[in-house]
Amino acid sequence: MALTKAVIVKLDMPGSPPIPVMFNPPRYELSKTNQFAEIKMPGLASSLLQFVNGNAKSLSMELFFDTTDTGVDVRIRTAAISNLTEPSSITKAPPRLLLLWGSLAFPCFLVSVRQAFDLFNALGMPLRATLTVEFKGHDRLEDLLAAAPLAQVEQASRYVAKAGDTLQGIAAAVLGSPAKWRQIAIANNIDNPRALAAGQGLQIPKPL
């Protein structure tokens, strides 16, 4: 029984034929990272970590191409993949993609392609290539907001201080950097950043 070929679908071009890989990769790697703000507190032996946000998922693999049986320039086949990094003349951005292989369905952009050619004919034309590719997951904004707790969405514009809160800690949590505490102080006419009472409502400005 023949293995299902992995294909890449251009979501911005409905009806266009999927781009099949020449040979299925032997493996692929999925990775996910998060960003944390490091809050330094005087007198503590270590910094406090405050979760800021998650980064897009990353999928990487190697794709193999070989045209020694036909003698055709292998770059004709690899161009179908490498061209997916080029911005569209209409959207001014690379195309949104859907990578499909068996149970894998990965909406993404192609962010990196490295091509290695290692077999050539007598004229120096490449006949074999290995592409190292990286895709970044593409999540719609409405899906991300739907997955976020309502309190977290509201906190983007308003924050209620808790016991032990500092402006630096609040800035790290909601603006992504403790150094932005002055923006919160100015927006709320706070002269003394140490005088923060539990239950005090704060307006959170848009990040500058």
| pTM metric for this prediction | 0.63
Question: 56: how many CB neighbours lie within 10 A of its CB?
Answer: 14
Whole-angstrom Cα distance, residue 4 to residue 151?
Answer: 44
What is the model's pLDDT at position 79? 95
**Strand ranges across the sheet with 126-137:** 19-20, 7-10, 97-101, 104-120, 126-137, 58-66, 28-31
Q: What is the mean pLDDT of residues 27-40?
A: 89
Q: What confidence tens digit (pLDDT) does each residue in 140-174 have?
A: 655 545 555 544 444 446 778 887 788 888 888 88
Q: What confidence tens digit (pLDDT) does each residue in 174-186 have?
A: 887 888 888 888 8
Residue 74 has pLDDT above 70, yes or no: yes
> Do residues 66 and 86 touch, judged by C-beta distance below 8 A?
no
Domain 144-203 architecture: Roll (3.10)
Asked if 7-139 and 144-203 have one fold, the answer is no
Domain ranges for the chain: 7-139, 144-203
Portion of the chain with pLDDT greater than 70, in percent: 89
CATH class in words for 7-139: mainly beta
